[in-house]
Amino acid sequence: MTVYNKVNDEFINKLSESVEGKVFTADQINEDFSHDEMPIYGSYQPDVLVAAKSTEDVSKILKLCNEYKIPVLARGAGSGLVGSGVAINGGVMIDMQGMNKILEYDLDNLVVRVQPGVYLHDLAEDCLTKGYMYPPDPGEKFATLGGNVSTNAGGMRAVKYGTTRDYVRAMEVVLPTGEITRFGAVVSKTSTGYSLKDLMVGSEGTLGIITELTLKIVPQAKHTISLIVPFESLDECIATVPVLFRANLKPQAIEFMERKIILASEKYIGKETFPKNIEGTDVNAYLLITFDGDNEDEIDVLMEQAAELLVENGAIDVLVADTPSAIKDAWAARSSFLEAINSQYKLIDECDVVVPINKIAPFINFVNEIGEKYDFDVQSFGHAGDGNLHIYTVSNDEDKLDEFNKQVHEFMEEIYAKAYEFGGQLSGEHGVGHGKLKYLKEYEGQLNTDLMRGIKKVFDPNMILNPGKVVSAE
């Protein structure tokens, strides 16, 4: 097991003298930096917080931490859900939010160069003012781009446009030794050795710290339309998804949700958009589908074809949202799921397994069935177009935290095993962090986790960078 040195006055003084950004210690560090958006995994205050202002700051911090053998990690907006950006070993936390400039657009090559502290929302809005789109669309719009890349965040548009990984062309990286390097290039294709850039994407800040990104952008689609599609049963709801793909309709997003989570979300936002009963038939599941493109007539044709297929395959009705306000209303409930859950429950845990799309319905049915034997409630929703499912375990029995954690662990063991039986994996977009680390070796196997650990040691011989996340030290 790796043993780290304690932060002392000599180290803090050297750090303060080396960097341009402010250095905070003890009570100067805001409590928000001790946890992410899933506090069930614990609260861990760093010994030192440095508000980095430049790549040089990051390099100097890592050189000192490597020299003194002190754990160090980068932190964005803290919107993660698996404890990736939490200082579970104390040490130094680097706040990257101050490195938040959109540096340069290169429209000839359809890329934009940014610092890692830029919020997803800010880049997306800035691109639109120029007639372009940054397609990755994770649910938390005020996450930093560095955090998005570090977890390979997916989001709702992944079904058509792909995940964050597909938009990372190049990056500047500071290695745990403090050395500065670049991975990737502006070019759209390469066969130049191992893809070190792609090793960084999704590595949760365990191999290096990203200090600059070159991201692909695309021309903005001129027209968008959304469909709210109610079904009597979850099985019929999910079964229509492969039908849409086989018809080559190319939806931008396909989300599924059960009645229970819609009721919770609409209560939270104070507005009802989704029908609950249509001509005497109770609605128990929904698809929320978006199409986009440059030709309004073509979008209308796609919508009509989709509506016909949906009704033929069990949809009770197809409700069309074709104005900006109607589309906003249609997506408001979906966008508020996590906030709705947080507002109604005191104890929350979550997983984001991914399964083949033809296994979504049997998997959710399995989750609902085994959930009945536990004391907590289960809320489920997800990305029907790519099989990434969000399963929440929730309770208000705060005085039974230990029992909640015990039962959730047993529940997770069962549903992860079923996901792998179906050909799925542990996480589709949230990552492993330390919250899901105990499951990685069990389901990915000893050989694969040994390979991951070997890669970690090549990048980080002293194991100082974000230790205890993704792979264990031993």
pLDDT value at residue 474: 64
Radius of gyration (C-alpha) of the chain in whole angstroms? 23
Span 230-284, pLDDT tens digits:
999 999 999 999 999 999 998 999 999 999 999 999 999 998 999 999 999 999 9
Number of domains in the chain: 4
Residue 304 in this model has a pLDDT that exceeds 90 = yes
Same domain? For 329 and 365 the reply is: no
Instruction: Give the CA angle between residues 413, 444, 411 to the nearest 5°.
Output: 10
Mark which of 63, 97, 131 sits at the end of a domain: 97
Residue 1 in this model has a pLDDT that exceeds 80 = no
Residue 467 in this model has a pLDDT that exceeds 70 = yes
462, part of any domain = no
Span 151-199, pLDDT tens digits:
999 889 999 999 999 999 999 999 999 999 999 999 988 899 999 999 9
The total number of residues shown for the chain amounts to 474
Q: Which domain holds residue 213?
A: 102-219
pLDDT value at residue 86: 97
447, part of any domain = no
pLDDT value at residue 167: 98
Estimate the crossing angle of helix 259-269 against helix 324-335, to 10 degrees: 110
1, part of any domain = no
Please state the rounded mean pLDDT for residues 96-114. Answer: 98
Span 54-104, pLDDT tens digits:
999 999 999 999 999 999 999 999 999 999 999 999 999 999 999 999 999
434, part of any domain = no
Q: Is the pTM of this model over 0.85?
A: yes
Same domain? For 204 and 288 the reply is: no
Q: How many CB atoms lie within 10 A of CB 430?
A: 25
117, part of any domain = yes
Query: How far does the chain reach from its first CA to its final CA, in angstroms?
Result: 6
Question: Which residue in 208, 214, 329 sits closest to 265, CA to CA?
Answer: 329
Residue 473 in this model has a pLDDT that exceeds 70 = no
206, part of any domain = yes
442, part of any domain = no
Same domain? For 116 and 208 the reply is: yes
Of 11-15, 106-110, 358-362, where does mean pLDDT reach its minimum? 358-362
CATH assignment at residue 259: 3.30.70.2190
Same domain? For 130 and 186 the reply is: yes
Structure tokens at 141: 């719009």
Question: Which residue in 353, 356, 336, 137 sits closest to 241, CA to CA?
Answer: 356
Confidence of residue 470 (pLDDT cuts 50, 70, 90): very high
Torsion angle defined by CA atoms of residues 405, 410, 412 and 416, in that order, rounded to the nearest 10 degrees:
160
For residue 167, give the 3-state DSSP assignment.
helix
